[in-house]
Amino acid sequence: MKKFRKMTAALVAAAMTAGLAGCSGSSGSSSSSSSGSAGELVFVDWGGTNTDARIEAIVKPFEEETGIKVTVVTPSDYAKLISMVENNTTEWDVMNCDAYWGVYAGEKGYLEPMDYNVITTKIDEEVQLEYVMGAEIYTSVIAYNTDKYNADTAPSDWAEFFDTENYPGKRAVWQYPVTVLEAALLADGVPMDELYPLDLDRAFAKLDTIKDSIVWWTKGAEPSQMLSTGEADYALAWSGRIATARDEGSPVDMTYNGGIMIAAGWVVPKNAPNLENAMKFIEYASEAKSQYEFSVRIPYGSTNPEAVALMDDDLKHELGQSSEQLANEIYLDNTYWAENLAEVEERFNAWLVA
């Protein structure tokens, strides 16, 4: 099985949801080979091996080619960005975040719009948005314990994942509505192209059918641990976490069939001090070579189809980005979640304790 070229031995996931950040790291700066005469910028990322890969694939080459000095700060912090903007003390220029949070923050006035005169690279239209430029993809997938199951005997789609009669056992599920409600509706027969707006009554009714079989997780590392120890038989999990655990020897695997792709994206805080350089950085980071170099270092998919075209077949398959896999996956609707997250999360939390 193909191994990813990782920067360190263990993956620290790029936490993709406010309040659930699983990464940690300290502020620092990458080295620059130039005199810095072209200016500078401050880039904020999640930390860990995600940022290690980003520095090698994008930050260092960007500095070398442009002469712009990049200071890398970790971790991404939604509340801090908002506070900076509200107090007119913005120090950051570019931040990596959940794309749906970026849509929300942009509509609330906390972000600069993308300058598509500078950012000319075309990526997947679902994640090339007014205030967000999609950076990478992680996917909610069906994972399973390979000591008990294989690709033929584990659930192969969300309908089977929700079928407790033919697939008995515990399901590890994210304790958060994003992608969980989509999975429930897909299991109930809703076509991918008719998912949004989510039919919440139908989704929660479907979740009721497996509620007694769920063990909940809140951090990206937990599903692979639950599967490995036997606490869960199957899991709704993040693809990058499962891929890394599998490559490090854990008895886990996954299918991308029905995968729900979540994009992380680049955003620029309102009144960023180095606005022009921020847009140059996002353009560079979005180019096919940059995204490809990132994906070969850490198991996150690319939002740029030209980057996917650079991948060999093994890597495409590992990332869920072969044409056959993509035909059975769907992007999360960032606008829907930006507009409805607070209301849906409140209902989800009430359902948890009902």
Which residue(s) pair with 266 in the sheet? Answer: 96, 133
In a domain? residue 19:
no
Residue 80: which domain range? 40-137+262-331
The enclosing domain of 71 has a CATH number of 3.40.190.10
> Could you list the pLDDT tens digit for every one of the 354 residues in the chain?
333 332 222 222 233 333 333 333 333 433 333 334 589 999 999 999 999 999 999 999 999 999 999 999 999 999 999 999 999 999 999 999 999 999 999 999 999 999 999 999 999 999 999 999 999 999 999 999 999 999 999 999 999 999 999 999 999 999 999 999 999 999 999 999 999 999 999 999 999 999 999 999 999 999 999 999 999 999 999 999 999 999 999 999 999 999 999 999 999 999 999 999 999 999 999 999 999 999 999 999 999 999 999 999 999 999 999 999 999 999 999 999 999 999 999 999 999 999
Residue 310, Cβ density class (10 Å: 0-12 exposed, 13-18 middle, ≥19 buried): middle
In a domain? residue 17:
no
In a domain? residue 5:
no
Question: What DSSP state is assigned to residue 287?
Answer: S
Task: Specify whether 51 is located in the same domain as 75.
Answer: yes
Tokens 């036997």 belong to residue? 230
Task: Specify whether 236 is located in the same domain as 346.
Answer: yes
- DSSP track, 126-191: GGB-SS-EEEEEEEEEEEEETTT--TTTS--SHHHHT-TTTS-S-EEEESSSTTHHHHHHHHTT--
Task: Specify whether 69 is located in the same domain as 98.
Answer: yes
Residue 88: CB partners within 8 Å, gap ≥ 6?
271
Residue 235 token pair = 């899991």
Tokens 């930050």 belong to residue? 59
Checking 204-207 for CB contacts under 8 A at 24+ apart, the result is: 204/347, 204/351, 206/162, 207/180, 207/181, 207/351
User: Which amino acid type is present at position 59?
Assistant: V
- Reference 11, options 212, 238, 207; nearest CA is 238
Task: Specify whether 221 is located in the same domain as 292.
Answer: no
In a domain? residue 349:
yes
**How many domains does the chain contain in total?**
2
In a domain? residue 345:
yes
